[in-house]
Chain A
């Protein structure tokens, strides 16, 4: 297994499962299950035991491995020099399990759907661009940017709303961009995170070839998960493009008052998506957008930026739902953290977070108290 030479080096001191100020446990799977085995240190020790055959393949071990949300809190908090590799180690172990055909059925189904249908929803490929129906968006044809939507923005009902809001805002700001609609291909971030390296490579190579065919140089992503894989993994496969999350393009435009906004009185707390924040270091752009709206009061949750608590949707859990259900599911914990700020709106900058937290608001019975909106949807409300 890749990183096999590292797994024995975990001391299991437990810093990996804490927030940086120690105010709480900050590992989503540990918060959900509460056995040490579901914390990063526990996973490290179990992976080693699995490699030395002290424990065997089991449904439970699969659940432990695939419950990691790849949120990278452990990468942030681990005190050892190999901290950067922690999530990669868990993905490498998943890869081993994929290669042995030892994966949970929900993971298998997700991967099969991507393989067969090109998306996790079993929807026809030609409907991928349907989210843009009724918008004046243009197909990509040499504009400055290509706007990449991803599976959630293309097919999920909540994701589609976010995609529309972002696209309309980019248009209003005069950004030159186009979309690929039905020709768009799954970015593969979750496929990679779930350990299906072969399928990931196939998707990445297809995407890279497609982007090159269209002469794409600069990409705006709706979804931080796509941002992550394009930035971190595609260059190694020959796909070096300029990659931006939509908030990074919009923030300077909003701050320069490119579009007029009316006052929007609201108390908002912002939830950092892991793949935008911890994985790619962007904490400020979405906040700058929110701060540019007159009347917005931005309040931080105790766990913010590098210490943000994951909604539990990363690492494929958005689709597999291994961390879902019950009051200790990460998305419900995160909503309760947001509620502590007495915010009326939980702002997100990721369609997966939007859906996860929306579900959690319902689970907590807080539909009348707090609303989950993407940053772009909030700006839309403030448009003059």
Chain B
């Protein structure tokens, strides 16, 4: 193992390799509830070539490798389950190219959403990308790898749907280009009109390769944004309300939140509707369309638009919403975790009720947060529990509640988003056998030595 340390130091430089207890401790865990597993080494590379050399070394020596962005999935996807080398990607954070007219950007694999946002605002104020509400440190590559969602998801789908090309270091150490960039200098499509090979990597959590470059589609950035909140205390009406709003095709994003505190929020479902426009007239027109679409619910006194204070507007319009992280300290304990199955919008009422039931059963503070994906095609429903890191009993209760969520989500037709290893196993078990075999074939062929984030998508 001493030779491994030496070789890694030769690759990335002495100061960017560590097997010291402090780095081993930190990189053994993420902010969620999954148990820690120690890495043998942590490295911080700066170039794709360095990553190629690390992967070749790992493949030769059969050492596990785990790529890591900001580690914000919360479900343990960057915890090195079998030890090995954690590759902290964040030093590879250059923005390589923006094609303004074709609206795409190429970034290195450790570039954060925050950095791209700042860069576009400064240099290309008419362009934007789909910013998730995970902290601004979250990396673009990791976010598309887990099929994250963002502010433009209602319009354009999962953030991974907005990928326009990939560069991936595959387990052999070779570089593989995915999409138009595989035969053109232009990165405008991850697949079509070619066979879409991005599926060999997206959603695999690094178990098939390490993304070193991502091209991401950019979209028009309007001059104005605003937010309205439609509130109803009838969870059964939420799917119909969403159907009407999405029918207008007037809104940027739709989120729903429901939480027991403060008291005035209790039993209410806050449908948060984001709108954009280049002029007051455009914004007003869109607002009128949405208000008209919901007029029936207002007349039947089943809901209404609440007045939103300036402070609340600022909080909601913030991208990413920094307030999301604050949920972790509701119990003055620095922790929260959620299970966020992707599920039909019509399941909203029962998901909400299940969340309240589990929160009551396990005596946990909770929050429901849903994001509409596409024109109501599905949603991410976050069963979210906060916990106190210093209270082991509360952490255990949160684990149990989340386990029950997993079982429930699967039973009502949901598909796990960024699943824990346990959830991955549950999914594989109920998956169509032919699909399962196809996944197995892909994994075995791409990664015959099983070095890439082993333990994840371990199809047997």
Contacts and interface: CB of A to CB of B under 8 A. Distances in A.
Interface in B49-104: 70-72, 88, 90-91
Q: Is the interface of A mostly helix, strand, loop or mixed?
A: loop
B23 interface: yes
Q: How large is the interface on A (under 10, 10 to 19, 20 to 34, 35 or more residues)?
A: 35 or more
Contacts of A302: 122
Contact of B119 (A10, A23, A79): A23
B390 A15 contact: no
Interface stretch (A54-62, A285-293, A314-322): A54-62
A379 B21 CA distance: 51
Given A13-B72, A56-B21, A8 B334 contact: yes
Interface stretch (B25-33, B144-152, B281-289, B452-460): B25-33
B21 A55 contact: yes
A61 B112 CA distance: 27
Interface in B138-167: none
Given A9-B389, A13-B325, A35 B136 contact: no
A37 B26 contact: yes
B118 to A, nearest CB: 4
Contacts of A209: none
Interface string A1-39: 000000011111111011101111000000001111100
Interface string B11-37: 000011010111101110001000000
Given A11-B325, A13-B72, A79-B326, A35 B42 contact: yes
B22 A80 contact: no
A331 B22 CA distance: 26
B333 interface: yes
Given A11-B31, A23-B122, A36 B88 contact: yes
Interface in A35-58: 35-37, 42, 45-46, 49, 54-56, 58
Interface in A69-116: 79-82
A64 interface: yes
Nearest to B390: A8
B115 interface: yes
Nearest to A46: B22
Contacts of B114: 18, 22-23
Contact of B22 (A13, A14, A34, A55): A55
B90 to A, nearest CB: 7
A375 B42 CA distance: 44
Given A21-B118, A45-B26, A81 B15 contact: no
Given A35-B44, A37-B23, A58-B21, A24 B333 contact: no
B414 interface: no
A200 to B, nearest CB: 27
A8 B44 CA distance: 26
Nearest to A48: B389
B20 A58 contact: yes
B88 A79 contact: no
Contact of B137 (A15, A34, A81, A82): A15
Contacts of B325: 11, 13, 15, 79-80
A41 to B, nearest CB: 9
B322 interface: yes
Contacts of B335: 11
A8 B135 contact: no
Interface in A173-198: none
A10 to B, nearest CB: 5
Contacts of A14: 70, 72, 135-137
Contacts of B329: 9, 11, 80-82
Interface in B311-326: 322-323, 325-326
A58 B16 CA distance: 19
Contacts of A9: 329, 332-334, 389
Contacts of A46: 22, 25-26
B92 to A, nearest CB: 11
Contacts of B137: 13-15, 17-18
B328 interface: yes
A302 B389 CA distance: 37
B68 to A, nearest CB: 9
A23 B118 contact: yes
B48 to A, nearest CB: 17
B26 A11 contact: no
Interface in B348-399: 388-390
Nearest to B389: A8
Contact of A34 (B44, B119, B122, B136): B44
Contacts of B113: 22
Contacts of A79: 322-323, 325-326
Which of B26, B27, B136 has the most chain A CB atoms inside 10 A of its CB? B26
A243 to B, nearest CB: 33
Contacts of A24: 115, 118
B117 interface: yes
Given A13-B137, A23-B115, 18 more contacts: A8-B334, A9-B332, A10-B334, A11-B31, A11-B325, A21-B121, A22-B117, A24-B118, A35-B23, A35-B26, A35-B44, A36-B71, A45-B25, A45-B26, A46-B22, A46-B25, A79-B326, A302-B122
Interface of B: 15-16, 18, 20-23, 25-27, 31, 42, 44, 70-72, 88, 90-91, 112-115, 117-119, 121-122, 135-137, 322-323, 325-326, 328-329, 332-336, 388-390
Going nearest first, the 8 A-B pairs with the smallest beta carbon separation are A22-B114, A14-B137, A23-B118, A9-B334, A11-B328, A13-B135, A13-B325, A8-B389
22 contacts: A8-B389, A11-B31, A12-B31, A13-B72, A15-B136, A15-B137, A15-B322, A15-B325, A22-B114, A24-B118, A34-B90, A34-B91, A36-B26, A36-B27, A36-B88, A46-B25, A55-B22, A55-B25, A79-B323, A79-B325, A80-B328, A81-B329
